[in-house]
Chain A
Amino acid sequence: QKEVEQNSGPLSVPEGAIASLNCTYSDRVSQSFFWYRQYSGKSPELIMSIYSNGDKEDGRFTAQLNKASQYVSLLIRDSQPSDSATYLCAVNPIKAAGNKLTFGGGTRVLVKP
């Protein structure tokens, strides 16, 4: 079992719709969770972090965390063509120490005009 698993996609959504991305992780001691966006040929950039169970909203992005189910998700509302990218889920076992990040394989999102 991979430590962090994501559906590779592509996830195709029409412009203006909600894109829903899922991520599961195997290490129960994981404390902090991140979503990175990576455009083709570019490096990952952080878009969201979440540490507590529940929802966290930032603009059009909402991260959802359920530690009991070892599940974290990302919702992108009002999807735009510029949101077309690969979204990487990353997990860190220690909240404050900023230890290494373990990444999933990424989900490719295609937003069609």
Chain B
Amino acid sequence: EAGVAQSPRYKIIEKRQSVAFWCNPISGHATLYWYQQILGQGPKLLIQFQNNGVVDDSQLPKDRFSAERLKGVDSTLKIQPAKLEDSAVYLCATRDVGNTIYFGEGSWLTVV
């Protein structure tokens, strides 16, 4: 079974530029999450989708972050404009019917 796919794996941008991350979930997993993990900290939930609907985006900085999950499959997370403090790993995760959450390898963002 293929895992959660994310791209790009690494990205370096200047502050105030924009960036987009893509996630392809495990087939059949209806719930998809985007987490932000700053170095030395645990992952923090940014947004949760159930199919193509948003369940929780209470911790998403909506002035600069946006996310969508068209057709309830792939998802994109966008940051515009980026700030230095956005440097982190962005983890996409999906959940199976047995309540197990699977993480992708992550997209590493450095803002300079």
Contacts and interface: CB of A to CB of B under 8 A. Distances in A.
A100 interface: yes
Contacts, number: 46
B14 interface: no
A101 B44 CA distance: 9
A101 B45 contact: yes
A6 B99 CA distance: 23
Contact of B103 (A43, A49, A102): A43
A32 interface: yes
A70 to B, nearest CB: 17
Interface residues of A, number: 23
Interface in B64-95: 91, 95
A46 B101 contact: yes
Q: Interface size for chain B: under 10, 10 to 19, 20 to 34, or 35 or more residues?
A: 10 to 19
Nearest to A96: B99
Interface in A1-32: 4, 6, 8, 32
Given A32-B99, A43-B91, A43-B105, A103 B42 contact: yes
B83 to A, nearest CB: 22
Interface of A: 4, 6, 8, 32, 34, 42-46, 49, 88, 90, 96, 98-106
List of 10 A-B pairs having minimum Cβ-Cβ separation, nearest first:
A103-B42, A43-B103, A98-B99, A105-B42, A100-B45, A103-B43, A98-B95, A106-B42, A43-B106, A44-B103
